[in-house]
Structure 1
Amino acid sequence: MLPASLDEAVDALAAAPAAVPVAGATDLMEAVNAGRLRPAALIGLGRITELRGWRYEDGGTAVLGAGLTHARMDRPDFAALIPALADAARTAGPPQVRNVGTLGGNIVTAAPAGDTLPVLAALEASVTLARAGATREVPVSHLLTGLDPVRPGELLTWVRVPLLHAPQVFLKATGRSGPARAIASVALVLDPARRAVRCAVGAVAPVPLRPLEAEAWVAGCIDWDGSREIDPAAAAAFGEYVAAACVPDGYGAEGAWEAVTEGPSAAALRLRRTVSVLARRALGRALK
């Protein structure tokens, strides 16, 4: 099925709730080729132009179409709006993946190493889920953790991102040069209006992790009324605080979450060190 409008897509999904909506198909084809997925039917979203753009909304929010590609998010106009999301999109893979892979696909697939996911978590974004005759808003974090998942017959249509107009950073480690799957990633944003720091760590667990205590602690170390400087020792401590919260003892494989029976493994220590460095660097760049 190839609907030409959002209404047609919602109606098609209502008629065939077991069908899988597909846009770029980068994750879907990998799952099909690996034998993890055998969709009964597909609903192609590539002809729905309204889902491939973005717009401003009253209240300081950007509304992003679920069909927005990684390549489009990397353009200067978008990067000026949500720089951390543009940075994540830029590293999401080789050009052939970025040209077709979409924001909505990244969210619905919810792969642990999905590059946009920690950014959306740190920005406290939400999504619109549409079904025949109704829509509802769900925080991205609730969708990813399964607290409020996509229901049969629902289509993810829009992503709402609060515009903070403040520094934000995305960094990731891959283990090799060039575009590659993240071993660990960190998104960090400043929220000067609330005198807050928001951080999310990706790829080290099934969902992005928010080290809330570390966020609150480091926010108290920043000179919000002055230069926003922070003592280097405090920045280093923040990195350790984030790493300890997100990579507890017992992680077995680098970039994975396999438990081991006797203490932290060497891989877990390397992963914790990687997260610490990423968090410290992200904070430093945001405060420049």
Structure 2
Amino acid sequence: MNRTIMLPASVDEAVEALAVTPGAVPVAGATDLMEAVNAGRLRPAALVGLGRITELRGWRYEDGGTAVLGAGLTHARMDRPDFAALIPALADAARTAGPPQVRNVGTLGGNIATAASAGDTLPVLTVLEATATLAGAGGTREVPISHLLTGLDPLRPGELLTWVRVPLLHAPQVFLKATNRSGPARAAASVALVLDPARRAVRCAVGAVAPVPLRPLEAEAWVAGCIDWDARGAEGVVPIDPAAAAAFGEYVAAACIPDGALVAGPEGAGAVAVRLRRTVSVLARRALGRALK
């Protein structure tokens, strides 16, 4: 089937192309799109290529302590030292997103728009409470990434994801991921965790175990109360009782994988859920420990 391919040179041109061609699909790295096309899940009538829009491939600071990331920012670019010093958890997620050929072309915007459950950047963006700028024929609007992923405020027909705004905490943040094999692979479970000393808060998001990243809010509030935010040990470590850290892992895992999942479903599903809960517990405990160092 012949498809129309449009190659706009600016955001305005891309928005116009989407407006005049209903059903057109924006494409940047195409790592997720080609998988969907090859599997027969997607048959776009037209493609709007974003590769010529250079403004979407970089990032910048913004007044108020925010980083503005272009939707065309590649995983490989986010893994560079200057970016890693800015948002280390997002750099860690980008580093594990796949083999080099995927990281070199796969983009932040594509990860968000595809919204695959195992998308590595999604728990990090959720826990950092990032927002997305969506551009359409009627103008632009800001939407929390969490609302975009859950469908509470989804992309509308003809809209283009252009920028991602990430508040800069300048505080510890961690991303950890478990896979079912060695080397770059899809996450079986992932955990993003940040400390917010100004609010004396802990924020945590668990990825890959549900269709969208999960925030165990009760576990966050509980463990924040276990941390002595004013005290630091001889090595600069914020003290926390090891038993509390272990309990936090269990709390997070139980919130994300309820007891019913451990026994329900087809034969073997309960055992898989038990292993997955154990994995999430370990990841959450380790993430907290690394953040507090």
TM range (shorter): over 0.9
Q: 2:248 corresponds to which residue?
A: 238
Contact 1:249 1:268 in 2 (8 A): no
> Which residues of structure 1 form unaligned runs of 5+?
254-258
Contact 1:249 1:264 in 2 (8 A): no
Aligned-residue CA RMSD (Å): 1.5
Superposition deviation, residue 261 in structure 1: 6.7
Q: How far, CA to CA, are the matches of 1:263 and 1:249 in structure 2?
A: 15
Q: How far, CA to CA, are the matches of 1:211 and 1:72 in structure 2?
A: 30
Superposition deviation, residue 17 in structure 1: 3.0
CA displacement, residues 191-221 of structure 1 (integer Å, 9 cap, x when unaligned):
0110000000000000000000000000001
Q: How far, CA to CA, are the matches of 1:68 and 1:18 in structure 2?
A: 24
Please say if 1:93 is aligned against 2:98.
yes
Superposition deviation, residue 252 in structure 1: 7.2
Q: How far, CA to CA, are the matches of 1:68 and 1:252 in structure 2?
A: 39
2:187 is paired with a residue of what secondary structure?
coil
Q: How far, CA to CA, are the matches of 1:17 and 1:47 in structure 2?
A: 21
Superposition deviation, residue 8 in structure 1: 0.7
Change (3 A) 1:262 1:217: farther
> Which residues of structure 2 form unaligned runs of 5+?
1-5, 233-237
Superposition deviation, residue 182 in structure 1: 0.3
CA displacement, residues 95-151 of structure 1 (integer Å, 9 cap, x when unaligned):
000000000000000000000000000001010000124100000000000000000
CA displacement, residues 153-175 of structure 1 (integer Å, 9 cap, x when unaligned):
10000000000000000000001
Q: How far, CA to CA, are the matches of 1:37 and 1:250 in structure 2?
A: 34
Contact 2:262 2:274 in 1 (8 A): no
- Corresponding pairs, count: 283
Q: 1:149 corresponds to which residue?
A: 154
Moved over 6 A (4+): 261-264
Please say if 1:115 is aligned against 2:125.
no
Q: How far, CA to CA, are the matches of 1:261 and 1:74 in structure 2?
A: 40
Q: 1:256 corresponds to which residue?
A: none
Q: How far, CA to CA, are the matches of 1:86 and 1:230 in structure 2?
A: 27
2:192 is paired with a residue of what secondary structure?
strand
Change (3 A) 1:134 1:45: same
Q: 1:103 corresponds to which residue?
A: 108
Superposition pairs for residues 2-81 of structure 1, below 5 Å? 2-81=7-86
Please say if 1:200 is aligned against 2:199.
no
Superposition deviation, residue 251 in structure 1: 3.4
1:265 is paired with a residue of what secondary structure?
helix
Please say if 1:251 is aligned against 2:245.
no
Task: Kindly provide the amino acid, as one letter, of the partner of residue 17 in structure 2.
Answer: A
Q: 1:209 aligns with which of 211, 214, 232?
A: 214
Contact 1:221 1:230 in 2 (8 A): yes
Q: How far, CA to CA, are the matches of 1:131 and 1:22 in structure 2?
A: 16
1:129 is paired with a residue of what secondary structure?
strand
Q: 2:190 aligns with which of 167, 185, 188?
A: 185
Q: How far, CA to CA, are the matches of 1:262 and 1:199 in structure 2?
A: 31
Superposition deviation, residue 262 in structure 1: 8.8
Q: How far, CA to CA, are the matches of 2:266 and 2:36 in structure 1?
A: 31
Q: Which moved more, 1:13-22 or 1:238-247?
A: 13-22
TM-score using structure 1 length: 0.96
1:251 is paired with a residue of what secondary structure?
helix
Task: Kindly provide the amino acid, as one letter, of the partner of residue 144 in structure 1.
Answer: L
Superposition pairs for residues 255-270 of structure 1, below 5 Å? 260=265, 265-270=270-275
Superposition deviation, residue 250 in structure 1: 3.8
Please say if 1:126 is aligned against 2:127.
no
Q: 2:169 corresponds to which residue?
A: 164
Superposition deviation, residue 4 in structure 1: 0.8
Q: How far, CA to CA, are the matches of 1:8 and 1:133 in structure 2?
A: 14
- Identity rate, percent: 89
Q: How far, CA to CA, are the matches of 1:251 and 1:70 in structure 2?
A: 34
